[in-house]
């Protein structure tokens, strides 16, 4: 259930980011598109977990979602936040994998659907953060 709620929180945060960068005074369509896709992907992860839990006879317990940050100063700060969030989600997934080590079905599900994908997302976000940081002198131009 913690993994499920983590995916829902991530979807919510990414949705907040997406529509922050879609505002007329931000007008960064690339960031909007990236974060909107990330929101959909996180929600799909949550749905996959719920389907699997139902299939295995588990009980789904959704928690209240806290309001995410709604002001993202710039693309770099949002990407850095997303990178930290994905690292936390990955740690949680690895912890779940360890706890479920006696259940080959669960470990296979986690490995097949999430673990490698999370590493790819972390690498991608890390590369974006590195590239954006390389524009430190004229950072705002680097977003375009």
Residues annotated within a binding site for Fe cation: 86
| Residue whose C-alpha is closest to residue 96's, from 82, 119, 112, 115 | 115
Point out the annotated binding site.
86
Residue with token string 């990407």: 79
Residues 6+ apart with CB under 8 A from 90: 115, 118, 119, 122
Dist CA 94 CA 114 (whole Å): 10
Residue with token string 């590493």: 119
Residues 6+ apart with CB under 8 A from 3: 49, 92, 93, 96
């Amino acid at each position: 259930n913690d993994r499920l709620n983590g995916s829902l929180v991530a979807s919510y945060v990414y949705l907040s980011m997406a529509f922050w960068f879609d505002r007329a005074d931000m007008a960064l369509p690339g960031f909007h598109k990236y974060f909107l896709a990330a929101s959909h992907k996180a929600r799909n992860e949550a749905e996959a977990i719920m389907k699997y839990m139902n299939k295995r006879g588990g009980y789904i317990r959704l928690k209240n979602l806290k309001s995410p940050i709604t002001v993202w100063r710039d693309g770099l700060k949002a990407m850095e936040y997303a990178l930290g969030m994905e690292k936390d989600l990955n740690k949680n997934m690895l912890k779940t994998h360890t706890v479920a080590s006696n259940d080959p079905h669960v470990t296979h599900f986690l490995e097949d659907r999430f673990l490698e994908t999370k590493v790819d997302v972390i690498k991608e976000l890390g590369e974006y953060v590195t590239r954006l940081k390389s524009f430190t002198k004229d950072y705002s131009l680097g977003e375009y």
